[in-house]
Amino acid sequence: MKVVIIGGVAAGPKTASKIIRLTPDADIAVVEKGSLLSYAGCGLPYYVSGEVKEQKHLMETPAGAVRDSAFFQNVKNIKVHNNTEALEVDRAGKRVRVKSSKTGEESWLSYDKLVLATGASPVIPRLSGIDKKNVFTLHGVHDAEGIKAILAEGKAQDVVIIGGGLIGVETTEALAAHGCRVTVVEMLPQILNMLDWEIAQLVEQHLESKGVRVMTATKALALESRHGDGECVTHVQTDKGDLPADMVILAIGVRPNVTLARKAGLSIGEKTGALCVDDHMRTSDPDIYAAGDCVECTDRLTGRPCFVPLGSTANKQGRVAAVNICGGNETFPGILGSTVCKVFDFCVARTGLTETGALSAGYEIVTSMAPGPDKAHYMPQSKPLLLKLVADKETGRLLGVQATGPGDGAKRIDVAATAISAGMTLDDIANLDLAYAPPYAPAMDNLITATNVARNKRDGLMVGISAQEVYRKIQDGADFFFLDVRSPQEYAEVRLPKSTLIPLGALRKRLNEIPKDKEIVAFCKISLRGYEAALVLKAAGYDNVKVLDGGVAMWPYEKEK
């Protein structure tokens, strides 16, 4: 069996490696336009920062072997044509025309099965000055080397990142580690559009606490050079003023590379612009498979096509394609968009649907905001973790979870992704037998606490109100009683606007200070005491009592000090 694989970074090498394990006598050729193979693109920000010391570490196996052409030939018996571009797919003749960038020679490679793993390319905006020497993306090792070179010269005091998605936000720490003043310019109203607004706002506040300037709802207009030679950008012009820039990094996102597939007449998704595949990773041609960042996926909750390029997905899809090419019957069920990234000392993660996504998909939902320590609170290594949970109000099925904060969010998101995949409800999750020991988790895990808050709201035991709603009331001058039940010490350190302090322990004795004819919104640091205060008030005959979701810890606006 002859297999030609176009693409040698993630999905391509995974497909090739699995095929050779299943069918050792297969004749496999991998065609890669670049010179480097099977490198960890997600590790590039850490290579720029210096945390990953050498370029070769991004291309090594866990045992330390560099995955180059010789490695694939000697260890796996896979022929790699790197520095070679695939120009044309002749479906009728079952062959691929390729061209060597070193010699300029063209040739044809025949196949029984073809795999397209052509990946994605960075979106390059139409801005003047985009071709200047100090303008980069962070899409490959060569870009990373260019950025590192400027940083090593100490010539990048001011860096502007255009785009507030994953790559843009992850790169801020690498630049700050080199002493750069970093500004993130994002055209949308928030950074990290994969998150709901209030969670993204907490991340934005964290970035700014680390010295990163974040400019949302801001459009880059031009990259200007005000030096005599004009070879380098010195300023970024935006609709909110000019920004000094010794280096510009474009991090707007990526688009699937489907030119080859389109020319070959293969089906392309109308909404995603990515290559259409079935659950066996077959394209509209049964002898052509595709995997990785060039293909569209299916959202497991909505059933809708989506484009969420991730290395984890590429590797899983490559394996599925390989199994089916070798005569197996394996399916790829779709994705939940599970994502995690490091933003300085914050973990930022999500899986499933956001509140915005669930509402647009037609769900009636219940949400919860649950901040708390990621380990037993008395352990010195415990750190705050902020969770937002979204569930279907009618069935109780978990739809999505978001996490941020310095605590361990990744494992909670992994449990949530598993629960969503299994169709679990809030009641199922509330009684999961999760591991507990004080150095690793609280007795009631953060995810279980978030689940129980949602159950209380669903069952009418608690009426929550979002920070956005409360903030709007404050801005509009609404007549309500904003009750802070924390301690005087906590109140002295930080407080929310227009709030009144009555500590929980004194609440029963001071009920006469709380009007019964007004809406009452109770809160504390994480709103656990706020919930207890609401129960006290209800028992005392107050019938319009709500609890601020997430309390002070998840208040996304300015606080008073």
Q: In terms of residues, how long is the chain? A: 561
> Shortest CA distance to 518 belongs to which of 491, 472, 471, 483?
483
Q: How many CB atoms lie within 10 A of CB 329?
A: 7
Active site residue 42: yes
Q: In the structure encoding, which two tokens stand for residue 254, read together?
A: 């990526």
207-212 own/partner pairs: CB under 8 Å, 24+ apart: 207/169, 207/172, 207/343, 207/344, 210/172, 210/173, 210/176, 210/344, 211/176, 211/181, 211/182, 212/172, 212/176, 212/182, 212/183, 212/184
The residues facing 515 across adjacent strands are none
* Cα–Cα distance measured from residue 68 to residue 81, given in angstroms and rounded to the nearest whole number: 11
* In the block, residue with structure tokens 């990234």: 341
Residue from 276, 247, 404, 399 nearest 337 by CA: 399
Inter-residue contact 86 to 6 (CB < 8 Å) = yes
Nearest to 435 by CA among 408, 458, 454, 461: 408
DSSP strand pairing (384-392 vs 365-373): antiparallel
Tokens encoding 368: 């919860």
CB-side neighbour CA atoms (13 Å) of 336 = 25
Beta strands in 257-345 (DSSP E): 288-290, 297-298, 305-306, 339-343
Residue among 186, 189, 181, 191 nearest 163 (CA): 186
Spatial CB neighbours of 534, under 8 Å, sequence gap ≥ 6: 462, 463, 520, 522, 545, 546, 547
Alpha helices, DSSP H only, in 34-157? 44-49, 69-76, 141-152
State the burial class of residue 447 (Cβ atoms within 10 Å of its Cβ: 0-12, 13-18, 19+). buried
Amino acid (one-letter) located at 157 = Q
Locate 255 and state its tokens. Answer: 């688009």
- Of 117, 114, 97, 115, nearest to 106 by C-alpha is 97
Cβ atoms of 436 and 444 within 8 Å: the answer is no
Question: Any bridge partners for residue 84, and if so which?
Answer: 100
- Which residues have C-beta within 8 Å of that of residue 509, sequence separation ≥ 6? none
Distance between CA 265 and CA 170 in Å, rounded? 37
Active-site entry in 42, 232, 294, 326:
42
Task: Show which residues are catalytic.
Answer: 42
